[in-house]
Structure formats: C-alpha cells, structure tokens
Amino acid sequence: MPFNFLHEAPRRVVIVNPTGRYAMAQVAAMRAAGTALVAGIAPGRGGTMLDGLPLLDDLSELEAPADAAVLYTPPEGVLDAVRGAVAARIPLIVAAAEYVPVHDGLKAARDARAGGCWLVGPNTLGLCIPGRTLLGSIAPEFCMPGRVALLCRSGTLTLALARLLTEAGIGQSAVIHMGGDLVIGRNPQDYLALLAADPATRAVLYCGELGGDKEYALAAALPAFGKPLVALVMGRHAPEGTRMGHAGALAGAARETAAAKLAALAAAGAVAVERPEQAVAALLRLTSAPSAG
C-alpha cells in the first residue's frame, strides 16, 4: 500500500516550479492553511528565498526526504517533473497542469505506480484534509472536518460541493479533486480502496462526469467497498458528441453518457442522485443513520 495521506498528513512538502504568479498564490494559501512547506524547486534560483520559502535547484539538494510534492510545471514538463519526484521517492505527487499530452500522462501514471507513488492529477486543484493539510488550491474555508470523503472529477464542482456540504453541516474526511484530464494518475476505484481502510471516513460522495469509462471500474469495485457511496454524474443534458470543458468530458458512445454511468453505479449499490442538493440530502440521511459505515 502506498503512503496513505488520509492517515498521516505530509510533514515535508516541496513545491516544484513555485515562482509563477499562480503557484505563488497557492504557496501562500498552503502556508496559511498550515501545510508543512520545506522548499521550492526552481532551477537556477537555488540558494535564494521566495517569500520565506527556500529555493533549491534540484530535489537531490533536500536535506531530508520529502513526503509530498506539488507540481506547478507547464503541461509539457509534467512527465519529467513526475519522474523526478518518483526518483526522489516522494510518495505523494500532485500535478496541477491541465492538458498534459496524453502519452506523457500515460507514462507519468505508469511510472508513478511503478515507483509506489500516488499521483493526484494532472489537471487537479489537489486535495484538502480539513483541519490538517492542503496540497493545491482547494479553498480550505469551504471545508470542515468530518466523516464524508468527497471525490470529484471536476475542479469547479469540487469547490461547489465542498461548500454545499459544509453549509449543510456535513464535514469531510477528505476533499479530493482526482483530476480532469483524460489520463489521471489514480482512478476512482483506487481512491475507493484507500477510503475503505480509512476509519475516519463513514461515507463517500462521488461526482463524476460524462465521457470515458472510469465510472464502470468504480461500479465494479463498489460491492466490496462496505460503506455508503452517493453518486452524482454531471452532464445529463449535454448535447451529444460535444466536448464539455476539458479532455475528460465528451460522451463518444452511449455508455459514456452521464445517464448510463449513473445507472451502472446505481445497479452496483450506489445511492444515485441527479442534482447536488439531492446528494446533500442523501448524505444527511446516511450520516445520521446509526448503521451507516
């Protein structure tokens, strides 16, 4: 089993390519959230500081091993950055960039798995363990500690659903944007395996979308999960054959539509809902039931 970030918050986090405007804003937010940032990797700027963050030229210069890395490299640099983190034996890697070339994404996912590393993304806002750590750009003020894990394919919906859950008084054990590119480092069923072993998680809210077949592997794993899962699949009214937003959201066949996926998840035992407010209502029922989880 790889490093389980649900059980133990990373204690030494590095930021790769932290000097861009977007990355600098996220570094400040992570620091404010209490994330244990130890260094930034910025070739050519080693030995300098960035708003109090020491900069190094290479991961090999770390004084002690890191247990998480957040990558703000451009899409064409993600494969090399992931490989560098794997070589440095960093167990948790978060890749923010969108539109990573598909073959690079496949190689990055393969190499991370082979190295025993957990790759979140590409095309991710990252993850938040409320009250403990933030890796990426999920707004911590939208989250609060609790017993429901939120897994989502869409960054916008990750934020919206976390806020809705919090406003309803439903706390989260984890808020995870798995990544919106066509190829991501870990698929929904992989997260399900982590959550099954997590005593802090009582139920799961999964939010998928049209396009691809990731939800079918999730449905196959669901009967053995042992905890309630509420499933929401967005894109039920999307025009046929139209790409919606990014590489992962295009229904190219009937089985890739939101309706077909939601039906498959319902048949596997998920509590299937069509709208976010229905998901909140279902979770309120599940988390208040003594037998849930």
Check residues 23 and 209 and name the one with the higher pLDDT: 23
Residue 107: inside a domain: yes
Whether residues 202 and 61 share a domain: the answer is no
The letter for the amino acid at 98 is E
Q: Which two tokens stand for residue 251?
A: 């229904």
pLDDT (tens digit per residue) in 233-285: 987 655 555 555 554 555 556 878 889 999 999 999 999 999 999 999 999 99
Whether residues 72 and 35 share a domain: the answer is yes
pLDDT (tens digit per residue) in 124-157: 999 999 999 999 999 999 999 999 999 999 999 9
Residue 70: inside a domain: yes
pLDDT band at 216 (very low <50, low <70, confident <90, very high): very high
Which parts of 139-204 fold into alpha helices (H)? 155-167, 188-196
Residue 4: per-residue pLDDT: 78
User: In terms of C-beta distances under 8 Å and separation of at least 24 residues, what long-range contacts does 51-57 make, across chains too?
Assistant: 51/24, 51/27, 53/15, 53/18, 53/27, 55/18, 55/19
Residue 225: per-residue pLDDT: 97
- Among 58, 88, 120, give the residue marking a domain's end: 120
Whether residues 169 and 242 share a domain: the answer is yes
* Residue 116 C-beta-side C-alpha neighbours within 13 Å: 10
Residue 257: inside a domain: yes
The mean per-residue pLDDT over the stretch 74-100 comes to: 97
CB 152 within 8 A of CB 209: no
The mean per-residue pLDDT over the stretch 108-133 comes to: 97
Whether residues 105 and 143 share a domain: the answer is no
Residue 290: per-residue pLDDT: 66
Residue 132: inside a domain: no
Residues pairing with 39 in the sheet? 14
- For 171, the domain range is 138-288
Residue 212: inside a domain: yes
Give yes or no for residue 2 having a pLDDT over 60. no
Whether residues 220 and 184 share a domain: the answer is yes
Residue 181: inside a domain: yes
- Among 85, 120, 155, give the residue marking a domain's end: 120
Q: Transcribe 150-163 into DSSP letters.
A: EEES-HHHHHHHHH
Q: Which two tokens stand for residue 76?
A: 């064409």
Whether residues 103 and 182 share a domain: the answer is no
Annotated active-site residue 103? The verdict is: no
Whether residues 148 and 116 share a domain: the answer is no
CATH code of 75's domain: 3.40.50.720
Residue 126: inside a domain: no
What's the mean per-residue pLDDT of the chain? 92
The phi and psi torsions of 208 (rounded to 5 degrees) equal: -105, -165
CATH code of 233's domain: 3.40.50.261
Whether residues 162 and 98 share a domain: the answer is no
Whether residues 254 and 166 share a domain: the answer is yes
The mean per-residue pLDDT over the stretch 82-99 comes to: 97
pLDDT (tens digit per residue) in 158-205: 999 999 999 999 999 999 999 999 899 999 999 999 999 999 999 999
CB 149 within 8 A of CB 172: yes
The phi and psi torsions of 196 (rounded to 5 degrees) equal: -60, -35
Residue 38: inside a domain: yes
Alpha-carbon distance of 97 to 124, in angstroms, equals 7
Whether residues 266 and 207 share a domain: the answer is yes
Domain count, the chain: 2
Whether residues 158 and 67 share a domain: the answer is no
Whether residues 41 and 144 share a domain: the answer is no
Q: One of 7, 103, 177, 246 is an active-site residue; which one?
A: 246
Give yes or no for residue 75 having a pLDDT over 70. yes
